[in-house]
Structure 1
Amino acid sequence: MVDVVLITGASEGIGRATAFAFARQGYRLSLAARTPETLRQTAIDLEQSLNAEVLAIPTDVTQPEQVQSLVERTLDRYGHIDCLINNAGICLSGPFLQTTPDHWQQLMAVNFWGYIHTIRAVLPHMLKRKQGQIVNVGSIGGKMPLPHMSAYCASKYAVSGLTEALRLELKPQGIHVIGVHPGIVNSDFLKRAIFLDELQSATSANDHDASDTGSPAREQMEQALESFLVSQPEEVATAIWEAVRESKSEVVVGMAQWAVGAYALFPGLIGPILRDASR
Structure 2
Amino acid sequence: MTATPRPTVLITGASSGIGRATALRYAARGCRLALVARGVDELRLVEAECMAAGAPDVLVHSADIGTAAEVDAAFAAAVERLGSVQVVVQNGAVAAFGEFIDLPAEVFDSVIRTNVNGAANVSRAAVRHFRATGCGQLVVIGSLLGHAAVPYMGAYVMSKFAITAMVRMLRQETRRTPGIAVHGIYPGAVDTPIYPRSANFFGRRARVLPVKDGPDKMARAIVAATDSGRSSEHQVGKANRPMLVAYRFLPSAFDVMVGPLLRLGGFRREEQEPMTGNALVPSEAVCTR
Q: Give the TM-score band, short-chain normalised.
A: 0.7 to 0.9
Distance 1:238 1:146, change over 3 A: same
Aligned-partner residue type, residue 93 of structure 1: F
1:76 Cα offset (Å): 1.2
Q: Quote the Cα distance in structure 2 between the aligned partners of 1:41 and 1:256.
A: 32
Instruction: State the shift of 1:251 in Å.
Output: 0.9
Out of 266, 269, 273, the position equivalent to 2:253 is: 269
Q: Tell me, what secondary structure is at the counterpart of 1:172?
A: coil
Per-residue deviation, 1:24: 1.9
What percent identity do the matched residue pairs reach? 30
Aligned partners of 1:170, 1:85: CA distance in 2, in Å?
Answer: 17
Of 239, 258, 273 in structure 2, the residue corresponding to residue 256 of structure 1 is: 239
For the pair 1:231 / 2:235, whether they are aligned, the reply is no
| 1:71 aligned onto 2:75 | yes
Q: Distance in 2 between matches of 1:96 and 1:189?
A: 19
SS across alignment from 1:245: helix
Q: Which amino acid aligns with 1:268?
A: S
| Contact persistence 2:140–2:184 (CA under 8 A) | yes
Contact 1:140-1:256 at 8 Å conserved across structures: no
Determine if contact 2:188/2:239 at 8 Å carries over to the other structure. yes
Q: Helix, strand or coil: the match of 2:150? A: coil
- Which of the two has greater helix per residue? 1
Give the TM-score taking structure 2 as reference length. 0.84
Deviation at 1:33, TM superposition (A): 1.0
Segments of 5+ residues of structure 1 without an aligned counterpart are 198-214
- Runs of at least 5 residues in structure 2 that lack an aligned partner in the other structure: 264-289
| Greater Cα shift, 39-48 or 251-260 | 251-260
| Aligned-pair CA distance for 1:231 | 0.8
Q: Which residue of 1 aligns with 2:116?
A: 112
- Shift, 1:248, TM fit: 5.0
Q: How far apart, CA to CA, are the structure 2 residues paired with 1:160 and 1:62?
A: 18
Alignment of 1:110-189 (within 5 A): 110-174=114-178, 175-189=180-194
- Which aligned pairs between 1:86-105 and structure 2 lie closer than 5 A? 86-105=90-109
SS in 2 for 1:10: coil
Structure 2 Cα separation of the partners of residues 159 and 98 of structure 1: 24
CA–CA distance in structure 2, aligned partners of residues 239 and 272 of structure 1: 32
Matches of residues 17-96 of structure 1 in structure 2 within 5 Å?
Answer: 17-96=21-100
The residue that corresponds to 1:244 in the other structure is 226
Q: TM-score, normalised by structure 1?
A: 0.86
Letter of the structure 1 residue corresponding to residue 234 of structure 2: V
CA distance in 2, matches of 1:11, 1:100: 26
CA distance in 2, matches of 1:248, 1:263: 26
SS in 2 for 1:135: strand
Deviations 1:80-134 (A, max 9, x none): 1111110011111111211232222100111111111112222222112332111
For 1:107 and 1:116, locate their aligned partners in 2 and report how far apart those are by CA, in whole Å: 13
Counterpart position of 1:9: 13
Paired residue for 1:206? none
SS in 1 for 2:185: strand
User: 1: CA distance between counterparts of 2:80 and 2:137?
Assistant: 19
User: Aligned partner of 1:260: which letter?
Assistant: L
Cα distance in 1, alignment partners of residues 71 and 222 from structure 2: 22
- Aligned CA RMSD, in angstroms, stands at 1.6
